[in-house]
């Protein structure tokens, strides 16, 4: 959220839509935001923040497989249609959604480089790399899964 606040403070004529789960909006929703940042949600398809540490592999699997459909549905109904999707690196499916909707999309790594080094040398990173590579290969082959019919189709 701080990145978006910084962007809007430097360029007040842009509109940023910050998408989170309903649970996370409960955590951050009371925080003051500029008028050009709108907060919106997708359903809680992921494990609760309060218990997800008990099943981190399951959590990673869910964010890589279950969040795309509700996000795509939300994107279909946003007005105005976004110009750019910026997503956490773990949400690599955002590139697929952007390509489907002819919206530019990019991923960013919001975690310090020292933590990246730890992930790179752990099983968690290899799980992430395997799932991301599979998603990117599917996109290159043009065989991306149909997520859900949209109002724009």
Per-residue model confidence as pLDDT tens digits over 29-59? 777 888 888 888 888 887 777 777 778 888 8
Per-residue model confidence as pLDDT tens digits over 58-111? 888 888 888 999 999 999 999 988 999 999 888 889 999 999 999 999 988 777
Task: Provide the pLDDT for residue 136.
Answer: 57
Which of the four pLDDT bands, split at 50, 70 and 90, describes residue 153? low
Q: What integer is the mean pLDDT of 3-22?
A: 86
Task: Provide the pLDDT for residue 148.
Answer: 47
Closest CA to 58 of 74, 45, 41: 45
Cα angle: 64, vertex 117, 89; to 5 degrees: 25
- How far is 57 from 138, CA to CA, in rounded Å? 22
Task: Provide the pLDDT for residue 99.
Answer: 94
CB 64 within 8 A of CB 90: yes
Does residue 149 carry a pLDDT above 90? no
Q: Which two tokens stand for residue 64?
A: 């890589």
């Amino acid at each position: 959220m701080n990145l978006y606040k910084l962007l809007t403070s430097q360029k007040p004529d842009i509109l940023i839509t910050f998408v989170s789960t309903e649970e996370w909006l409960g955590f951050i929703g009371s925080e003051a935001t500029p008028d050009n940042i709108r907060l919106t949600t997708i359903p809680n398809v992921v494990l609760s923040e309060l218990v997800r540490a008990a099943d981190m592999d399951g959590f990673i699997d869910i964010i890589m497989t279950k969040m795309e459909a509700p996000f795509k549905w939300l994107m279909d109904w946003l007005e105005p249609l976004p110009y750019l999707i910026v997503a956490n690196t773990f949400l690599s499916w955002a590139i697929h959604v952007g390509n489907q909707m002819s919206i530019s999309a990019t991923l960013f790594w919001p975690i310090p480089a020292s933590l990246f080094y730890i992930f790179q040398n752990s099983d968690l990173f290899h799980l992430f790399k395997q799932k991301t590579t599979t998603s990117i290969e599917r996109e290159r082959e043009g065989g991306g899964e149909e997520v859900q019919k949209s109002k724009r189709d």
